[in-house]
Chain A
Amino acid sequence: DTGVSQNPRHKITKRGQNVTFRCDPISEHNRLYWYRQTLGQGPEFLTYFQNEAQLEKSRLLSDRFSAERPKGSFSTLEIQRTEQGDSAMYLCASRHSGAATYNEQFFGPGTRLTVL
């Protein structure tokens, strides 16, 4: 499968614990995006990378959230001291940063986080 993959697919944790999610983008895509989707809402942008550089963070991304993309390949999203409000689907997407024909973002299956 050459699509975007995310692990784990589901994560249940207790409030206050730290969690980390992983995203593996399509190999030739240099841009990687993280979104969060809560029930009844569309995906909301969190942050994105061009290669290994994190170029923008949404105000939704509190200090408890951190994302990395070492070597411009896979990315991790960590949430520290989880809160019940963090329960959501976390989506990763990737795309090529070239000409318009490449501007489609390809989404992974998401990681569903439940904070008890």
Chain B
Amino acid sequence: AQSVSQHNHHVILSEAASLELGCNYSYGGTVNLFWYVQYPGQHLQLLLKYFSGDPLVKGIKGFEAEFIKSKFSFNLRKPSVQWSDTAEYFCAVMVNYGGSQGNLIFGKGTKLSVKP
């Protein structure tokens, strides 16, 4: 079965620090990958997605992620974080086999706290 691992449970950074959140998935076939963000008190929002093509994907608010097929990874990066990036970040894989069309399998999430 597919699974998603997020390595860090809680990351604390100062403003302007660089961010990298790890995400690994287990599935040998074609994958669609997502990063969602949940700001305090708000619903899940899509940051970026990868379906095919350029493995370096740019999303909203200066975030990017790199799909490395050989490492089964889809790490999220931002060169300089802001206090407003404080949120919980979820990596997800879309299931695309059999009858399970379009279901998302999420990691446990990484809580990011940015100190002003």
Interface residues of A (CB under 8 A from B): 4, 31, 33, 35, 40-45, 48, 50, 55-56, 91, 93, 95, 97, 100, 103-110
Contact = CB atoms under 8 A, between A and B. Distances in A.
10 interchain residue pairs of minimum CB distance: A42-B106, A107-B44, A109-B43, A45-B103, A100-B51, A43-B106, A107-B43, A42-B90, A42-B109, A42-B108
20 contacts: A4-B43, A33-B102, A35-B104, A40-B108, A42-B4, A42-B108, A43-B90, A45-B104, A50-B101, A91-B44, A95-B102, A97-B101, A100-B32, A103-B94, A104-B34, A104-B46, A104-B49, A106-B46, A107-B44, A110-B43
Interface of B: 4, 32, 34, 36, 42-46, 49, 51-52, 90, 92, 94, 99-109
